[in-house]
Structure 1
Amino acid sequence: MPRLAPPTAEGLRRDPLPLRGRTALVTGASRRGGIGYAVARRLAAYGAGVYLHHHVPHDADMPWGADRPEEVRAGVRAVLGDPDAPVADGPADLSDPAAPAELIARAAEALSGRLDILVVNHALSGSDGTLDTIDTAMLDAHWAVDTRSVLLLVQAYARLRAAMPPGGPGGRVVMMTSGQDIAGGMPGEIAYALQKGALASITRSLATALAEQAVTVNTVNPGPVDTDYLTGDAYEAVAARFPAGRWGMPDDPARLIAWLATDEAAWITGQVIDSEGGFRR
C-alpha cells in the first residue's frame, strides 16, 4: 500500500496565494450582499481566476433587489491576490435544462480552458409554502433550480475535467444546503427543504463517483446568514439565538468554502459541514 512521505518544512509553510493558477465558477453571485459574492472574493484573494454566474431577473423580483453585474465583478476584481488572475461573469437561467452544461463551457472558455473549482451557491427564493399550501408548480420550480441544475452542473464539470490534460491540481465541488435536517427543520419552506435535503443526501455518492478524477465533493450548511432578507424584531430574535449575539455574515461560510478549495482540504470529501456559529435552533 503506498504511503505519503511526511511534509517537509517547506511544505508546511503556508502559501499566501494557495489557489494561484487555479480557476473557479461560483454560481448565484448576483449581488454584493450574498454568499456567492463573498465566496468569489475569497477565492480571488487566494489567487484564483473566477467566473461569476448571475441571474439578475431572480434577484430583481426579490425584496433585496439586484446589483449590476459590473459592480459585482469590480468588487471581486478589487481583492485579486494574483493580478494576472481573470475575473469574468455571465448570465444563466438554471431552470433551463440546457443551461448548466452551457454555463460550464462558457466559464471554462473564459478561464483559459480549464475549471478547477465549482461552487454551486444559487437557489430559488420564494415560490414555496407549508405542507398545506405547496403545489406541484412550487415543487417543480424548486426541483429544477435547487437540485436538477446542481446535478447537471456537477455532471458537466466532471465531463470537462475528464477531457482536461492529465496532471495539475485536484478538483473541488462545493454545494450548499440549509440545515433542513437539523432540529426543527423548515416547515414553512417544504419545497426548498426537500430539494436542499436531496443535495445533502447525494453528497457522498457524488464524492465516490468523482474520487477517481481526484475531485472532492462537500456540502456546506451556512446556517442563518445576513444577506439583507430580514430586518426589525425578527432579525434581532434570530441574532439572539447565536452565542456570539450576531448573525452569520456572508464571509463566515466563504472562509470555509475557500479553505475547502485549497490543497489543505484535499483529504476531506463526502461531508456535509455545518458552519452555523453555534446557532441554537
Structure 2
Amino acid sequence: MPRPPDPAPEDLRRDPLPLRGRTALVTGASRRAGIGYAVARRLAAYGAGVYLHHHVPHDAQMPWGADRPEDVVAGVRAARGDPGAPVADGPADLSDPAAPAALVARAAEALGGRIDILVANHALSGSDGTLDTVDAALLDAHWVVDTRSVLLLVQAYARLRAGLPPGGPGGRVVMMTSGQDLAGGMPGEIAYALQKGALASVTRSLATTLAEHAVTVNTVNPGPVDTGYLTGAGYDEVAARFPAGRWGMPDDPARLIAWLATDEAGWITGQVIDSEGGFRR
C-alpha cells in the first residue's frame, strides 16, 4: 500500500468549529457545576448539536442538589459555536433496563436522526462503603447504573450507527472511569470502584467491536474534580496534592473529551486516559 501523502497546509490549520454538523448525546448533565454540563458546553462551542440527559431525582437527593434542566440547557445554548445547532434535553432513569435504548432513540430523533458522539458521563453517587460494609444491594445498585446502563447505551448507539448510510463522519464513544486502579485505589467506595473498573477493562473490547463502524471508544479518568462535593479542610488537602495547587475544574476533562470527539483524535481508540493534572496519590 502506498504511503499516504502528507497533510495539505490547509489541513494543518485548526478549524474553530471542528464538530459543526455533528451531534452528541451527553448523559448525567443535571448540574452546571458538573462534568457533563462542561462537556456539553465544549461540544456545543465546537459546533455540535447536543442532547442532554438528566436524572434530577438523583442529584436532588445529594448534598449539592440539582439545577433546573431549563437552566442547564440555557447555559449550553449560550455556548454554541453554531447558532443553528440544536440543543435538546430529556430525563431518564438509567437503572431501568429499557431506558438506555429509549434514550438513544429520543436523542437521535431530536438531533435529526443520528448521533455521532456518545459521552456516558452519568454515575450513581453515594450509597457505597468499604469491603466490610458493602452488601449485595449496593453492589447491584452501582452495577445497573454505572456499568450495565453504559453498555446498553453503547449497544443502542452501535445499532443506530450501523443503520446509517456509509460515508459520514466517524463516531465517538467516551466513557468515564475514576482512577480506581491507580495508587491507593478507592477502598472507601468498593461498589463504585468495581463498576468503574469494569468500564476501563472493557474499553479495548468495545473499541475492537466498533471499529468496523468507524467508531472510536476511549475512557477518561478525570481525577479529582471540583463539582461541589467537598469543602473545608478536606478540600484544601486535596488541592495541595496537585502541582498547580488547585483542584481539577469540570472544564479540564471536558477539553480532553471534546478533543477526543474531533477528527484530530481519529487515531486514538481503546485507551483509558488519565486527566489528573499530576495529582499525587
- TM-score band, normalised by shorter chain: over 0.9
SS of corresponding position for 1:134: coil
Distance 1:32 1:2 in 2: 49
Query: What percentage of residue pairs aligned between the two structures are identical?
Result: 88
> How do 1:133-148 residues align onto structure 2 when only pairs under 5 Å count?
133-148=133-148
Gaps of 5+ in 2: none
In structure 2, what is the equivalent of residue 235 of structure 1? 235
In structure 2, what is the equivalent of residue 260 of structure 1? 260
Residue 4 of structure 1: CA displacement? 2.6
Paired letter, 1:73 = V
SS of corresponding position for 1:39: helix
Indicate whether 1:278 and 2:271 are aligned: no
In structure 1, what is the equivalent of residue 77 of structure 2? 77
In structure 2, what is the equivalent of residue 219 of structure 1? 219
Distance 2:267 2:154 in 1: 20
Q: CA RMSD in A?
A: 0.6
Structure 1 stretches of at least 4 aligned residues deviating more than 3 Å after TM superposition: none
State TM-score, norm by structure 2: 0.99
State TM-score, norm by structure 1: 0.99
Post-superposition CA distance 1:203-260 (Å, at most 9, x none): 0000000001000000000000000000000000000000000000000000000000
Distance 1:272 1:166 in 2: 28
SS of corresponding position for 2:67: coil
Distance 1:112 1:73 in 2: 18
SS of corresponding position for 2:236: helix
> How do 1:149-228 residues align onto structure 2 when only pairs under 5 Å count?
149-228=149-228
Residue 3 of structure 1: CA displacement? 3.9
Post-superposition CA distance 1:100-150 (Å, at most 9, x none): 000000000000001000000000001110000000000000000000000
Indicate whether 1:247 and 2:247 are aligned: yes
Distance 1:76 1:244 in 2: 28
Distance 1:246 1:156 in 2: 38
Distance 1:17 1:260 in 2: 14
In structure 1, what is the equivalent of residue 48 of structure 2? 48
Distance 2:4 2:172 in 1: 21
SS of corresponding position for 2:138: helix
Residue 165 of structure 1: CA displacement? 1.2
Residue 10 of structure 1: CA displacement? 1.1
